[in-house]
Structure 1
Amino acid sequence: MWNSYLNSYKSFLQLEKSLTDNSVGAYLGDVMKLVQYLEAHELKIGPSEIGLHHLQSFIHWVANLGMSATSQSRIISGIKGFFKFLVLEDVIKYDPTELLEAPKTSRKLPDVLNIKEIEMMVDAIELRYSKKGKNQGLDSYEGYRNKAILETMYSCGLRVSEVTDLKISNLFFKAGFIRVTGKGNKERLVPIGQAAIDHINVYREKFRDHMKIQTGCDDLVFLNRRGSGLSRVMIFYVIKELALKAGIKKTISPHTFRHSFATHLVEGGADLRAVQEMLGHESITTTEIYTHLDSEYLRQTLAEYHPRYIHNL
């Protein structure tokens, strides 16, 4: 009964949404859980007969299986996507998921680096490389490359996979943009700052352009000493080591630079839609996580603008 709808939905996700096989499998898996619930309760009904009470019972059933609130929310999101598709295709007239609520989940904001801390990490690169006790600083291949990587991540807010996959053919420095391939193989143009452009150019001119490059890696911007592409793990390792060297105690990862990029833009007054476009977020709600303000900023705002705020009680 449900197979034809699932096959149509699969084609929609692949062709219209251009999602990866893993993402398509995840969305279909969410709907299959609903089908399993119906079969377990011997409810022989199709999508057009599903009501809000069925879905609420389904979520209760999922919760009793021991799934976390986060997992439940993801399943609900998948179910909502499926029924929106059915409305779009005129299979059903009413979307039963409109009033379906996800369980409350706590969302822990990742650490953010301030400008000084970002400068400390970049500066730490000059101290990172040594050989037989002699500081080589930026006279090393990794130093030039890693400085270019950090500047690019912070300048453009890239995901770590977007850094490792960045191609020379997608650098449009004269226009001040780079083309990035993000999730679901979706391409977007992202502005790039002059500091990042300069460091990429120096890295290429001094080292990359003189390397023996492995087959298939000719177009990749960032390479290891062997002339092949960098792994995501390698960039994680570099970031962790630099944070340690700089004496930064926060939990740092490549995503920290992406998060800092967006947070600094939003706090500086940037339009949220523009930030969404640069980050490659499909939904504006994903971008809204970057609108958080630290408690000290809120306290200062209250102290400055609230007429009845009292200091030092």
Structure 2
Amino acid sequence: MNEFELHLKKMGLSKNTIQSYLFAVRYFTSNYEINLESVLEYKGYLIEKFKPKTVNLRIQALNGYLKFIGENDLCLKALKIQQKNFLEDVISHADYLFLKRKLKNDGNLKWHFLVWYLGATGARVSEIIKIKVEHVHVGYFDIYSKGGKIRRLYIPKRLKNETLKWLAGEKRTTGYLFLNRFSEQITARGISQQLKFYAEKYGLEKNVVYPHSFRHMYAKRFLEKFNDISLLADLLGHESIETTRIYLRRTSSEQQSIVDKVVTW
């Protein structure tokens, strides 16, 4: 990081800009890996948490770092103030079900349930890793954010009951729900890596199989089943309902499919 800081100074950037760049890059390198799935997840995180201007500043900082280390292909596109009228890099419901089924059929119940939780709770990966067995028993997980706000993450009834059966077979009654191979709390980075592995193993598009993609899918499916955008905003923990409005849009592949069917003239 010292070399990158020196690089920024040589570029003649102001002290404040350099500090802003370093802050953004340190956050990324502390929480994400340097690969396509991670930078896309990071972009999703930024879009949910900050205004477009701030998002673009963070993207600009990360892109500067990626170019500095020779990872130009991973650079992100800045947000346009006028957002696109379609979603990108979202796992389809069919692929979600396929992945869940393959994992179960292979006897990989931990990852079967982890994918299920990602797709059926709308949780961020940073929240998934904090869910405990005790939360499953009560059926929800309360998340406390800055400013004293509380968001309740609900565990659907079917998922709760199936999880309890799995835990009974594992003879687990307490502690974090998802553990790594050392029986310790799994990490967000570990989840991202493993999802990439399973995407490749089962022949899925790797660019849509990353933790935040399942959150996008959850939001789209929820609105299709229950068209209440205000409730969805609360469930996702969005401070502004404007952030949630993106899920009213279709993915680019869905738009293409509709056009192919409708436009026959």
Q: Percent identity?
A: 21
Map of 2:112 onto structure 1: 147
* Structure 2 counterparts to residues 294-309 of structure 1, below 5 A: 294-296=254-256, 299=259, 303=262
What is the TM-score of this pair, normalised by structure 2?
0.61
Q: Shift of residue 125 of structure 1?
A: 1.6
Residue 117 in structure 1 maps to residue 113 in structure 2 = no
In 2: Cα distance, 1:273 partner to 1:169 partner:
29
**Distance of aligned partners of 1:71 and 1:285 in 2 relative to their CA distance in 1, 3 Å threshold:** closer
Tell me how many residue pairs correspond in the alignment: 192
Query: How far is 1:256 from its partner?
Result: 0.9
Q: Which residue of the partner structure matches residue 166 of structure 1?
A: 131
1:270 alignment partner in structure 2? 227
Whole-angstrom CA distance in 1 between matches of 2:222 and 2:145? 22
> CA 1:276 to 1:250, structure 2 compared with 1: closer, same or farther past 3 Å?
same
Name 2:193's counterpart in structure 1.
237
Q: Partner of 1:104 in structure 2?
A: 81
Residues in 2 aligned to 1:154 and 1:163: alpha-carbon distance in whole angstroms: 11
Measure, in 1, the Cα distance between the counterparts of 2:182 and 2:56. Answer: 46
Query: How far off its partner does 1:312 sit?
Result: 2.7
Q: Please give the per-residue CA displacement for 1:174-229, whole angstroms capped at 9, x wherever unaligned.
A: xxx4124265374322332234213321331122518xxxxxxx532212232210
Cα distance in structure 1, aligned partners of 2:116 and 2:193: 17
Aligned to 1:30: none
Structure 1 residue runs without a partner (length 5+): 1-32, 34-69, 78-101, 128-136, 211-217, 304-310
The 5 A counterparts of 1:32-47 are: none
Bigger CA radius of gyration: 1
- RMSD of equivalent CA atoms: 3.5
Corresponding residue for 1:73? 53
Deviation for aligned residue 1:104: 2.6
* Residue 219 (structure 2) pairs with residue 259 (structure 1): no
188, 206, 215: which one pairs with 2:151? 188
Which residue of 206, 209, 215 maps to 2:169?
A: 206
The structure that is helix-richer by fraction is 2
1:246 aligns with 2:202: yes
Contact 2:89 2:213 in 1 (8 A): yes
Between 1 and 2, higher relative CO (CA 8 Å, sep ≥ 6) is seen in 2
Aligned counterparts, 1:84-95, within 5 A: none
Post-superposition offset of 1:255 = 0.7
